[in-house]
Amino acid sequence: MAGGEIRGGYMGKLLRVNLSTGETWDEPLDLERATMYIGGSAMGGRILLDEVPPGVGPFDEENRLMFLSGPFSGTSVPGSGTYTVVTKGPLTNQAATAQSNGWFGARIKAAGYDGIIIQGIAPNWVYLVVNDGVVEIRDASDVLGRDTQETQTYLMETLGLPKASVACIGAAGETMVLYANISSDFAHFASTNGIGAVMGSKKLKAIVIKGSKPIPVADPEGMRKLGLEDLRKVGEIDKKTGWSIQGTTGVLAWCNEVAALPVHNMRKTHHPEAWKIDGERLNNARVATYGCPNCTMRCGITILDYEGRESELDYENIGMLGSNLDIFELDQVASLNYLCDDYGLDTISAGAVLAFYADAIEQGAIKGDFRFGDAEMAKKLLGMAARREGEIGNLLADGSLRMARKIGHNSEAYAMQVKGLEISAYNCKFIPGMALAFGTSPIGAHHKESWVITFELKQTARDSYGPEKAAKVIELQRIRGGLFEFIVACRFPWIELGWDLEHYAEYFNKTTGLNWTLNDFWKVADRIYALMKFFWVREFPFWDRTRDYPPMVWFDPNNADTEGPIAGKVLELDKYNQLLDYYYEQRGWDKRGIPTRKTAEALDLKKEAAEVEKFTKLE
Residue 335's φ and ψ, nearest 5 degrees, are -65, -45
CB within 8 A of 522, min separation 6: which ones?
478, 482
Nearest to 314 by CA among 295, 294, 289, 293: 289
- Rounded least distance, CB 493 to ligand SF4, Å: 6
Nearest to 296 by CA among 97, 450, 497: 497
Torsion-angle region of 323 (φ positive above 0: left; ψ -120 to 50: alpha; else: beta): alpha
Tell me whether residue 173 or residue 433 sits nearer to another protein (CB atom).
433
Q: Cα separation of 421 and 386, whole Å?
A: 18
DSSP structure string for 142-165: TTTT--HHHHHHHHHHHHT-TT-E
- Rounded least distance, CB 468 to ligand SF4, Å: 30
Q: Cα separation of 545 and 583, whole Å?
A: 11
Tell me whether residue 404 or residue 443 sits nearer to another protein (CB atom).
443
- Rounded least distance, CB 429 to ligand SF4, Å: 30
Q: Are the CB atoms for 44 and 97 separated by under 8 Å?
A: yes
- Rounded least distance, CB 206 to ligand SF4, Å: 22
Tell me whether residue 291 or residue 373 sits nearer to ligand SF4 (CB atom).
291
Q: Residue 513, Cβ neighbours under 10 Å: how many?
A: 17
Q: 451 touches which of another protein, ligand SF4, none (CB within 5 to 8 A by kind)?
A: another protein
Q: Residue 195, Cβ neighbours under 10 Å: how many?
A: 33
Q: 251 touches which of ligand SF4, another protein, none (CB within 5 to 8 A by kind)?
A: another protein
Q: 258 touches which of another protein, ligand SF4, none (CB within 5 to 8 A by kind)?
A: another protein
Tell me whether residue 279 or residue 351 sits nearer to another protein (CB atom).
279
Q: Residue 458, Cβ neighbours under 10 Å: how many?
A: 7
Q: 312 touches which of ligand SF4, another protein, none (CB within 5 to 8 A by kind)?
A: none
- Rounded least distance, CB 99 to another protein, Å: 12
Say whether residue 259 binds another protein (CB under 8 A). Answer: yes
Q: Cα separation of 471 and 494, whole Å?
A: 20
Q: Are the CB atoms for 324 and 274 separated by under 8 Å?
A: no
Say whether residue 285 binds another protein (CB under 8 A). Answer: no
- Rounded least distance, CB 182 to another protein, Å: 19
Grouping H, G, I as helix, E, B as strand and the rest as coil, residue 65 is strand
Q: Are the CB atoms for 492 and 314 separated by under 8 Å?
A: no
Residue 583's φ and ψ, nearest 5 degrees, are -60, -50
Q: 297 touches which of ligand SF4, another protein, none (CB within 5 to 8 A by kind)?
A: ligand SF4
Say whether residue 453 binds another protein (CB under 8 A). Answer: yes
**Binder to another protein among 35, 246, 296, 400 (CB under 8 A)?**
246
Q: 246 touches which of another protein, ligand SF4, none (CB within 5 to 8 A by kind)?
A: another protein
Grouping H, G, I as helix, E, B as strand and the rest as coil, residue 302 is strand
Element (H, E) at 168: strand 165-168
Say whether residue 279 binds another protein (CB under 8 A). Answer: yes
Tell me whether residue 246 or residue 599 sits nearer to ligand SF4 (CB atom).
246
Maximum pairwise Cα distance, the chain: 66
Tell me whether residue 15 or residue 295 sits nearer to ligand SF4 (CB atom).
295
**Binder to another protein among 367, 458, 614, 617 (CB under 8 A)?**
458
Q: 427 touches which of ligand SF4, another protein, none (CB within 5 to 8 A by kind)?
A: none
Report the b/e string of 594-610 with b at 16+ CB within 10 A: bbbbebbebbebeebbe
- Rounded least distance, CB 75 to another protein, Å: 23
- Rounded least distance, CB 446 to another protein, Å: 11
Say whether residue 243 binds another protein (CB under 8 A). Answer: yes
Q: Are the CB atoms for 148 and 344 separated by under 8 Å?
A: yes
Binding string, residues 465-504; x marks residues near another protein by CB under 8 A? ---------------------------x--xx-x------
Q: Are the CB atoms for 34 and 6 separated by under 8 Å?
A: yes
Residue 168's φ and ψ, nearest 5 degrees, are -150, 170
The interface region with another protein, picked from 179-187, 257-265, 584-592, 599-607 by CB under 8 A, is: 257-265
**Binder to another protein among 2, 121, 245, 560 (CB under 8 A)?**
245
Say whether residue 560 binds another protein (CB under 8 A). Answer: no
Q: Are the CB atoms for 454 and 469 separated by under 8 Å?
A: no
DSSP structure string for 22-45: TEEEEEE--HHHHHHH-SHHHHHH
- Rounded least distance, CB 306 to another protein, Å: 24
Please count the residues of the chain: 619
**Binder to another protein among 462, 523, 547, 597 (CB under 8 A)?**
462
Interacting residues toward ligand SF4 by CB under 6 A: 79, 101, 291-292, 295, 297-299, 490, 492
Q: 343 touches which of another protein, ligand SF4, none (CB within 5 to 8 A by kind)?
A: none
- Rounded least distance, CB 401 to another protein, Å: 24
Torsion angle of the four alpha carbons 208, 37, 192, 82, in this order, in degrees rounded to the nearest 10: 50
Q: Cα separation of 522 and 337, whole Å?
A: 36
- Rounded least distance, CB 97 to ligand SF4, Å: 17
- Rounded least distance, CB 59 to ligand SF4, Å: 30
Q: 372 touches which of ligand SF4, another protein, none (CB within 5 to 8 A by kind)?
A: none
Q: Cα separation of 299 and 290, whole Å?
A: 6
Say whether residue 78 binds another protein (CB under 8 A). Answer: no
Q: 490 touches which of ligand SF4, another protein, none (CB within 5 to 8 A by kind)?
A: ligand SF4
- Rounded least distance, CB 496 to ligand SF4, Å: 8
Grouping H, G, I as helix, E, B as strand and the rest as coil, residue 397 is helix
Grouping H, G, I as helix, E, B as strand and the rest as coil, residue 540 is coil
Say whether residue 36 binds another protein (CB under 8 A). Answer: no
Say whether residue 514 binds another protein (CB under 8 A). Answer: no
Interface residues with another protein (CB under 8 A) are: 241-243, 245-246, 248, 250-251, 253-254, 257-259, 270, 279-280, 314-316, 426, 447, 451, 453-454, 457-458, 462, 492, 495-496, 498, 564-566
